Chain A
Amino acid sequence: MLSKLWNTLNTLSAKKPLKYTLYLSAIIIFFAIILIPPIIGILIKAGSLQAVFGQPELMNAALGAISNSFIIGLVVAALDLIAGLPLAWIISRGKSRWLSVLDTFADIPFVVPTAALGYSLLLFWSSSGGLSDLFGSTLVSPGWLLVMLLHFTFSYPVVVRVIVGAMLDYKMEYERASRTLGAPPLTAARTVTFPIIKPSLIAAFSLAFARSLSETGATFIVAGAFQNGPVFLQNLSNAFKNGSLTQAQYEGATVFASLILIVVSLTIFAIIRVLGQRIKLPFGHGLPIFEKKLSYAKAAWSRNSITLFVFLVIVLIPSLFVALPAFQAVATGTTFVEAFTGSGIWASYWQSLLLSYGLAAIVTVLGIILGIPIAILIARKTFGKLPSAIIDTLINVPIIVPSIALGLSLRFFWQGIPGIPDFALLVFAHLAITYPYFVRSMSAAMERINIDMEEAAKTLGAKPFTLFRTIVLPLTKYSILSGAIIVFTRSVSETGATLAVTSTLQTAPVLVVNWVNSLRGISPIAGVNALTVGLACGLLILFSFIILLVLRLLTRKGKV
């Protein structure tokens, strides 16, 4: 039965027209669903800009919020690199068996939905009962500093992960050579290792920057009166809902802010892409003497301690701090029982979890199906070098566009076509945001496959489909898996685009944002208190953690 299917697929795959139809449809879907709507939607609405031009305060507020976004994004991405390099170094170079534990912990803020993370940070840094208790006053009140801390916390793991990956691929021989030529460890790292892994450093910086620009839900929780781009857009939407803005003002300001966000992001990324290749640090005459002093014994020890301290106190403990009220809720019993019987507001909690995980599963499957042909196109240059390079560049656009702007644009685009359910919009939005991650990881994996191997299979008589099934798939299956993990976790975490495309469907992180708002007195919900929110976040983190462990176990097997 199965072999019959393989045979049919094989015959089909060997037919050129059919093969090209397949690739072409993948490209068309990519443009029609993933690339175009998130950008064109805003342009369709460009007419509404009229409404803001007469409103200098609104425009200034928008511009101020947007510049906050970029400043925070760049600063956070830079801090991430500075703090992430030493930790990545410890993880990839250290010999202690504790490292794999550290390695797993470093992933936690990555899989925890950012909304839960935001609440956790809020508790840790600025509520009574958190760290602030020790100091007798609010240590970090909601505002720009807390936003920076938050963004640092959730983007740090991404940066560490990317750099660790690069360091594991890196040939240690280069660094050893540098040492034997007279360079102390720090000089060797600065003049040899970092320049060689520079593409990954740039990628890490860009990812952190993009994540910071996009994050909406958690930022909203910790921002207080401070506004960055996404918070500004969300505030607009709230103001429109409670009637303090007219439809025209709302749409005008929204289009204005989104458009600038999109254009400036794309410009900055283009600059990073072009300049990143060119930047070369000077050799630094005289620096090696200084670096030698910092390379050994005490200096190295304090460097490692500071790194671990930063990781623990700024990243890990604040991320997990919400466990405290969660345990309280478990201890008091009633909240716990309510939660698990799904009574009262908990019914909506479980529904939102179901929606989030269901949505993430659908998006993951679609992402894999639609992503593999595009990944092959990029890696194998099926249509030639230029088209593959163009697609390779365009694929990044949905990551670069701040997700709330992407969501808004998507909604404006599909609004014109009646009868599209909110759920479909949700799928499209999440697909657009997560798709690039999958294609990236898949095409990179395919580029690592030695082309000889595929050619050997061809000379042995393998048809294209057999080739894919017996060579490409087994060799890339762990990249497919890890790509799928990213897609899944990003989808579960996503708030900005979700809030933008639907006001009826409530995913888990959106529910967390709403509950926290209720706590803070913004649109209160009956039955929501510190214990319920704590437990809700705690459970969300626990589930994410379980998923992380299972996936780690799955991927680990592949490394043997």
Chain B
Amino acid sequence: MPEVRIVNVTKKYGNLYALDNVSLTIQDQEYFSLLGPSGCGKTTLLRLIAGLIEPTSGEIYIGDRRVDKVPPEDRDIGFVFQTFALFPHMTAWSNVLYGPKVKNYDAKQSETIGHEVLELVKLNERLNAYPSELSGGMMQRIAVARALAAGAKTLLLDEPLGQLDAKVRNEIRYEIRRMAKDLKLTAIHVTHDQAEAMSISDRIAVMKKGKVVQIGTPQELYMHPNSLFVAHFIGESNFLEGYITEVNDAYSEIELRQGLRIKALNPRDIKKEERVVLAIRPETCEMKRGHIKAENALFGQVDKTTFEGTIVRYEIRLDNGDRFVINRPSLTEQWINVGDEVTITYPLDKAHLFPYPEAGLTEEISV
């Protein structure tokens, strides 16, 4: 139930900064996700909060209490491990009762708690089975039940759905959120799957190479990415490189390769002649067959189409040589064929302008 506060936390392994001066606050009862590519430090941060490892420097607060020196058993946290870590020598039921027993509750009290949490995770069969005999989904529920039974106030979940197959995963993720909300827990959920994070989180921290890049609600991250990395990692983006040729009050003009000029909003006040990257999401564009004269249009030819169920994905070679992807609904629109000439338009406010990254575009969006 408490607020979790990370202040200037750094964790080094040898010379490697697994976490580099990270600060963030997770609000009381919030369902919060740490999202980022593999190796960016998510697990490290979660383990620091749990007390399984110690920070190299910085402070961690849970509620009003500074906990850097508090051992994990005294932090009132529950941790759900990626591999579940169910004790193999105990039955499912004994696993659930482990926390209450360690905390010295008497047998009756422990069992009451056990039944309560099992009710919550909707599991009341096969309790005498050993973990190796359970399905992935069951193991996952037992792991959550076990953490809840121990009286967790903060629930830490390290890729809790990673071991499950797609269908079970989609069912369980909402259940975990519901339980956390019902019990008024603060939940921190680690995942590398942006769709998962977007669908269940109140807020998300996007991480990259030991740093937090952006914190916001799923909508904020999608609508207003603060960097090329986030634009690339959350959803999908087309990146067009160019130079600013004109800046005025309403918009800026950008010259792309081969002198093609288009417009975009410039909220960051990037100066004239600076090198920039324009990020446009594939699902925001309009596309029409043929060369149609229009304001702010891109012209090209369809190279490849892929039917992906609900959408059709078009890969287009623009006339200036850049590549561009567009997603369109597959049922409500007429498909366009490979080889067709097309005209692409986009709303000005849906194109995001960024300064060209110092390390290069590929490096910036590499995971």
Contacts and interface: CB of A to CB of B under 8 A. Distances in A.
Contact of A187 (B88, B102, B147): B102
Contacts of A179: 51-52, 71-73
Interface of A is mostly: helix
Interface in A88-103: none
A192 interface: yes
Interface stretch (A79-87, A284-292, A304-312): A284-292
A181 B81 contact: no
A20 B134 CA distance: 39
Query: Which of B86, B88, B98, B156 is packed against the most chain A CB atoms within 10 Å?
Result: B98
A79 to B, nearest CB: 25
B99 A196 contact: no
Given A182-B73, A184-B73, A177 B85 contact: yes
B26 interface: no
Given A176-B52, A176-B79, A181 B99 contact: yes
A177 B104 contact: no
B4 interface: no
Interface residues of B, number: 29
Contact of B71 (A184, A191, A285, A289): A184
A33 B54 CA distance: 57
Interface in B39-55: 50-52
Interface residues of A, number: 26
B101 interface: yes
Given A180-B77, A180-B79, A183-B102, A171 B71 contact: no
A245 B50 CA distance: 72
B78 interface: yes
A176 B102 contact: no
Contacts of B87: 174, 177-178, 192, 196
B230 to A, nearest CB: 31
B85 A286 contact: no
A283 interface: yes
B89 interface: yes
A58 to B, nearest CB: 49
A195 interface: yes
B305 interface: no
Contacts of A283: 101
B257 interface: no
Interface string B65-104: 0000001110101110101011111000000001101111
B39 to A, nearest CB: 18
Contacts of A171: 83, 85
Given A176-B52, A288-B104, A181 B88 contact: no
A169 interface: no
A452 interface: no
B192 interface: no
Given A180-B50, A180-B72, A286 B104 contact: yes
Interface in A163-211: 171, 173-174, 176-185, 187, 191-192, 195-196, 198
29 contacts: A171-B83, A173-B81, A174-B87, A174-B88, A176-B72, A176-B79, A177-B79, A177-B85, A177-B86, A178-B87, A178-B98, A179-B52, A180-B72, A180-B75, A180-B78, A180-B147, A181-B73, A181-B98, A181-B146, A182-B99, A184-B73, A191-B98, A195-B89, A196-B88, A196-B89, A288-B104, A289-B104, A292-B73, A296-B71
The 4 closest A-B pairs by CB, nearest first: A180-B79, A177-B85, A173-B85, A181-B99
